[in-house]
């Protein structure tokens, strides 16, 4: 047998796996040290009561013959599709039930969605960028071009009419920089995509962290998006589902590639390769979108955003330039004293037992930058800023 040789073009390891290995080694060498982890964006607060109760009830149903369920619907159960549609309606976005495909999270869909597109498509990615968008296209052997985010454009690159692209990834609020596109900026991307006959894969995994009502939470708030975009949503950060796994992808009925309906193609792909998210988890996800569920999740998000404020205030007082942390759980900072991203990573780990994510792991424009997440416990965040401030 032969391997897919595109894998030879990948870095040896996925960014967060590399970090986990380095941290595990440091822990093995320093077993007594208390390591604070503000690296991977993993939540620390438990699931909300309403969600847990819904899952318990669903588990009981699975143990009773009259309410037991076998295989689910390929697009997800109607009760969850309807709950997601109602959530979008609150922001003025109308969705048809069959446009909503329930999934096991944003990461899988961000990679898998490419299954339905030819290898010859040119993929446009911002830089810095969530590595999944890049690595999954390297695996498929696609040409990837980049548009640069930097301090002068606020890490929000805009489309350039002269650049030809077929598939465009946009993440807003952005992972890793925390920057958020305005409505006008997203409109420019939507117009560009429609002119180019290109597809936008919009990752809205962090939309629940937006507190500024003027900022768009969904690309479908923008006119014209239904003919050029799909949106990938996730309950990982919104509702603490990183270990529970549930997300969704919205594929508008109007979205066409030539004579082909993208919705139909994605349905065809999912029905073949994916048997859905378990009934118990989908009931938990449904509970997220109830009034009680949303208010419990909001309390957790407020807690994390309190952490983000502590991180940002500390960086400001240390004179370290940073972005994000206001409508996003990520704080993106310039490494102090001109250090490279991995140099700063090593220094923080070795001298402060503090883990973050080197900006260079998100692309060449991330070199010299560093990402901290606000998903830690309050005590850890307070201790982390203390350790940061004592760093020589």
Residues that bind ligand MLT (CB under 6 A): 16, 40-41, 107, 130, 175
Q: How far is the CB of 131 from ligand MLT (least distance, A)?
A: 8
Residue 260: CB partners within 8 Å, gap ≥ 6? Answer: none
| CB-CB contact of 216 with 222 (8 Å) | yes
Choice between 16 and 74, CB closer to ligand MLT: 16
Q: Which residue's Cβ has the minimum distance to ligand MLT?
A: 41
Q: CA 15, CA 360: separation in Å to the nearest integer?
A: 10
Q: How far is the CB of 317 from ligand MLT (least distance, A)?
A: 26
Q: How far is the CB of 237 from ligand MLT (least distance, A)?
A: 8
Q: How far is the CB of 45 from ligand MLT (least distance, A)?
A: 15
Choice between 136 and 175, CB closer to ligand MLT: 175
Choice between 75 and 107, CB closer to ligand MLT: 107
Choice between 230 and 374, CB closer to ligand MLT: 374
- CA nearest to 95, candidates 208, 214, 254: 254
Choice between 210 and 255, CB closer to ligand MLT: 210
Q: How far is the CB of 236 from ligand MLT (least distance, A)?
A: 7
Residues 261-274: b if buried by 16+ CB within 10 A, e if exposed: bbbebbbeebeeeb
Q: How many CA atoms lie within 13 A of 353 on its CB side?
A: 13
Residue 305: CB partners within 8 Å, gap ≥ 6? Answer: 209, 211, 329, 374
Q: CA 169, CA 111: separation in Å to the nearest integer?
A: 11
| CB-CB contact of 179 with 185 (8 Å) | no
Q: How far is the CB of 171 from ligand MLT (least distance, A)?
A: 10
Choice between 284 and 329, CB closer to ligand MLT: 329
SS3 call for 7: helix
């Amino acid at each position: 047998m032969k391997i897919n040789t595109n894998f030879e073009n990948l870095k040896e390891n996925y960014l967060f796996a590399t970090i986990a290995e380095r941290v595990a080694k440091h822990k093995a060498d320093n077993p007594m040290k208390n390591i604070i982890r503000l690296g991977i964006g993993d939540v620390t607060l438990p699931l909300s009561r309403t969600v847990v109760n819904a899952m318990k009830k669903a588990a009981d149903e699975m143990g009773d013959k009259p309410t037991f369920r076998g295989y689910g619907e390929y697009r997800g159960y109607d009760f969850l599709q309807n709950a997601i549609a109602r959530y979008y309606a609150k922001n003025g976005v109308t969705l048809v039930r069959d446009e909503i495909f329930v999934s096991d999270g944003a990461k899988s869909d961000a990679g898998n969605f490419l299954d339905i597109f030819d290898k010859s498509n040119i993929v446009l990615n911002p830089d810095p960028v969530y590595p999944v968008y890049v690595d999954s296209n390297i695996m498929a052997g696609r040409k990837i071009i980049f548009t640069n985010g930097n301090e002068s454009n606020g890490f929000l690159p805009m489309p350039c009419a002269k650049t030809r692209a077929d598939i465009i990834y946009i993440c807003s609020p952005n992972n890793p920089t925390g920057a958020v596109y305005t409505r006008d900026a997203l409109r420019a991307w939507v117009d560009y995509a429609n002119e180019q006959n290109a597809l936008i894969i919009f990752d809205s995994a962090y939309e629940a962290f937006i507190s500024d009502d003027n900022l768009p939470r969904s690309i479908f708030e923008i006119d014209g998006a239904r003919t050029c975009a799909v949106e990938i949503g996730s309950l990982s950060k919104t509702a603490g589902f990183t270990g529970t796994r549930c997300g969704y992808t919205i594929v508008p009925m109007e979205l066409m590639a030539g004579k082909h309906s993208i919705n139909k193609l994605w349905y065809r792909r999912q029905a073949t390769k994916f048997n859905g998210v378990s009934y118990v988890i989908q009931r938990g996800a449904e509970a997220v979108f109830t009034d009680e569920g949303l208010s419990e999740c909001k309390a957790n998000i407020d807690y994390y955003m309190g952490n983000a404020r502590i991180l940002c205030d500390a960086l400001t007082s240390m004179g370290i330039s940073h972005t994000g942390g206001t409508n996003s759980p990520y704080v993106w900072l310039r490494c102090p004293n001109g250090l490279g991203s991995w140099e700063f990573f090593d220094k923080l780990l070795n001298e402060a037992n503090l883990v973050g994510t080197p900006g260079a792991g998100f692309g060449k424009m991330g070199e010299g930058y560093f990402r901290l997440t606000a998903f830690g416990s309050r005590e850890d965040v307070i201790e982390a800023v203390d350790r940061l401030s004592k760093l020589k």
